[in-house]
Amino acid sequence: MGREAVWLSSPRPLRVLASAVLGGDLDLTHHIVNMHVHRGYHSPDPGADLRAFAGRLGIVEPFVGLLTAAWTEEARCVWEEADGIRVGAVATVGLGVTEAAGLSPPGVCRPSTINVIAVLDGALERAAAVNGVITATEAKVGALVEAGVRTTEGDPATGTVTDAIVLAWTGRGPRVPYLGPATVAGWCLARAVRQAVREGLPRR
């Protein structure tokens, strides 16, 4: 973590499911990069910007790339562990354009963003990974509601207009067929994400 980016690098390939600017279609990667951009950032090709930045880091293979106007050096990392399951979450929290899903009207996307990168040391089935994205999103929303974050219209905020998530897993260790919040793995994931987002909020 630093001023330019949050960079997660793994010597072993990670399985991934992501709603990322770049690499959202990847199944495997060694690198996840959450690059800082200025608040007025506008580019015709964000993917090219991410590739150029990754090249400066020495990344030459396909990677998952995110963008955020939040301060990446203030990213929060939280680990949770129970019954042999270990989950980590890194969150960068920017609240430039908050929204309430299903209530806020469509509008202009402006970089700010709550980006969450979660890593689970286990073997996930694809359906469990999708379930994990739901669990992590619920935890993010819970942190925002708990903190009283609202939209400009006064509704409880569920996120920002440009939020993204990456769920990565090692493929080793315990088999995790389901990642809902009632499971040990889902509980660890939710706690890690909720705490990482919560810790990022007071500085906004």
- What local confidence, expressed as pLDDT, does residue 1 receive? 73
What is the percent of the chain with per-residue pLDDT over 70, rounded to a whole number? 96
- What local confidence, expressed as pLDDT, does residue 157 receive? 95
Instruction: Encode pLDDT of 172-202 as tens digits.
Output: 988 999 999 999 999 999 999 999 999 999 6
Residues 6+ apart with CB under 8 A from 193: 78, 89, 91, 116, 118, 136, 139, 140, 143
Mean pLDDT of the chain: 93
**How sure is the predictor about 110, in pLDDT bands with cuts at 50, 70 and 90?**
low
Cβ neighbourhood burial of 123 (10 Å; 0-12, 13-18, 19+): middle
Q: How far apart are CA 86 and CA 120, in angstroms?
A: 6
Residue 151 phi, psi (nearest 5): -85, 175
Q: Domain ranges in the chain?
A: 5-200
Instruction: Encode pLDDT of 140-156 as tens digits.
Output: 999 999 999 999 899 99
pTM: 0.94
Helix (H) or strand (E) holding 7: strand 5-18
Residue 195 phi, psi (nearest 5): -70, -40
